[in-house]
Amino acid sequence: MKTLKRLSVLFVAVGAILLSTSCKKVAEKIEDTLGIPSMTCTVSGKKWDAKLPVGNVKDGRLSVFGTAGLKSDAIGQIIVTVESATVGTYDLSDISGVVYKKAETVLEDSDDYYVSSLATIVITKVDKGMVFGTFRATVHSVNNPLDIIQIEHGVFENVIY
């Protein structure tokens, strides 16, 4: 009887291990096929990683935005905008390219609201309602043009718009 119970426990344990391994493989295949939306960069040299980036097209303009997640060393929200949802390189020397807010609730006239004075955004792929690209920018506070922040090594992938 004890042997039968031990065998039953062994079979349940082996079954659980096999099931969890199979589920993990299925999840990895789904991730490889669909991709998880991501948006990362450095803000003043600190790692910034969006919780769940999203995209939006309004009046032909494509925006990708995200808010810093738990894995970030930097804080705030970043919005990247280009004139159209098409593959290409956008060198922008106006405030429309990249916006950095030190918090989600920062108003446009706040010291913590930064706009780009120079930005390069590259849309590398637009496919099935998802956008992929890179970005970098020099941003300054709307109230103090001498308060400058560098945003570098920006990448967004699998962002649904």
Task: Kindly report the pTM of this predicted structure.
Answer: 0.78
Least confident of 13-22, 37-46, 78-87, 120-129: 13-22
pLDDT tens digits, 43-102: 999 999 999 999 999 999 999 999 999 989 999 999 999 999 999 999 988 767 999 999
Residue 95's pLDDT is 64
The structure tokens 């082996």 sit at 14
- Residue 97 DSSP symbol: S
Q: What angle do CA 27, 28, 34 make, to 5 degrees?
A: 85
Sorted by where each begins, the domain ranges of the chain are 1-34, 35-160
Dist CA 65 CA 116 (whole Å)? 15
- Residue 95 DSSP symbol: T
Q: Is residue 41 very low, low, confident or very high in pLDDT (cuts 50, 70, 90)?
A: very high
93 CB contacts (<8 Å, ≥6 apart)?
117, 118, 119
